[in-house]
Structure 1
């Protein structure tokens, strides 16, 4: 899974000469919280709600409303944008993107190609959407959780064969290795929850959750 699979490609961007007020209007119109700043298709900065707020005069200022508006009307995106922007390549793994965002404590990564051209952007919301897709949240079916006290090679193959022999298809598999046990979560393309649970239990697996999933509206 690469960043390009989940990044937003239809970008709303700002130009360096754009006035702050126009950037704010653009964010409100598209209901977004940041704008990549682009010049000749290349990323040169990033402007966010936070950087705009920092640029606004303090309420304690002695400036009049007229003077404040005058200053803001003269201030451009280039004047306040973040210039040292962390980016990522579109072919990088999604996990790399998540790691960078966690390490740098940031909520957005502009995506630039080998020519340094901006080709997308990936945000916290894109990561959440990716997780929902990967986990099969919107696919419905049956979710089964197995407690494996002693993990061993080939156990996933054994489980998959058992289900396939009974004509059940696995949609997703998530393995959570804990200190004393391993949890295997399966999402199966079937609404026969009780039957699936009985098959796995009869084969000696510890099924501690078997839930019929409904597709979200």
Structure 2
């Protein structure tokens, strides 16, 4: 599933800043590109990362010092190398979105520089990109009908349900299943279908109620929801 790889969802090319650049320069880059972090480079080598929060702190006047060098503009002249996070966490362009999410959670990150096989920075992936992936995967646009069910976890269990949906004329769009929040021995499945008429939908619901535990149905077409 190549569409699950980082290289298909990252922002590219990466917008970067040189380690010798001033804080003021980095602030301008962030504002011009409407982004929140920058990989810091020395030539082609990644040496750090700097965020908008780092820049905000660095550019704030130091009111505790009488030294004129600590006036309102002193922080803006600092080199990025003085305030950056060294040796940042990176991710390969050929790793998965799942790997990305895990790194975000473990390291409490908002974004990651993406590198290729030769360790060149080829892009950035952020939480915004991750959310875009999720929306696309589950069916962006709030259309169709979403079913959430809990069913006995056995080989082919989800396929059995999608086959029933097709028997009633539904076109299956997206399917996601997990054991994460299900009872032991069960799994939850989240299925989005299209192209089913109301009478067929009503019959489908009755059949499903006999075979699985219904969690909810959200009908984006009719703007209705049923929570079981």
With the length of structure 2 as denominator, give the TM-score of the two structures: 0.81
Query: Would you say 1:82 and 2:89 are equivalent positions?
Result: no
Q: 1:194 to 1:151 in 2, by over 3 A?
A: farther
What is the CA-CA distance between 1:26 and the residue it aligns to? 1.5
Provide the aligned C-alpha RMSD in A. Answer: 2.4
Query: Would you say 1:14 and 2:21 are equivalent positions?
Result: no
Listed as ranges, the matches of 1:35-74 within 5 Å are 35-56=38-59, 57-64=61-68, 67-69=70-72, 71-72=74-75, 74=77
What is the CA-CA distance between 1:197 and the residue it aligns to? 4.4
- Tell me the residue number matched to 1:33: 36
2: CA distance between counterparts of 1:41 and 1:195? 60
- Tell me the residue number matched to 1:202: 207
Q: 1:169 to 1:62 in 2, by over 3 A?
A: same
Q: Pick one of 122, 132, 157 that aligns with 1:119.
A: 122
2: CA distance between counterparts of 1:92 and 1:9? 16
What is the CA-CA distance between 1:25 and the residue it aligns to? 1.5
Q: 1:154 to 1:79 in 2, by over 3 A?
A: same
2: CA distance between counterparts of 1:67 and 1:185? 57
Query: Would you say 1:213 and 2:223 are equivalent positions?
Result: no
Higher relative contact order (CA 8 A, sep 6+): 1
- Tell me the residue number matched to 2:225: none
Q: 1:28 to 1:143 in 2, by over 3 A?
A: same
2: CA distance between counterparts of 1:143 and 1:85? 40
What is the CA-CA distance between 1:158 and the residue it aligns to? 1.4
Query: Would you say 1:141 and 2:147 are equivalent positions?
Result: no
Q: Pick one of 166, 179, 204 that aligns with 2:183.
A: 179
What is the CA-CA distance between 1:163 and the residue it aligns to? 2.4
Report how many residues are paired: 212
2: CA distance between counterparts of 1:198 and 1:147? 19
With the length of structure 1 as denominator, give the TM-score of the two structures: 0.85
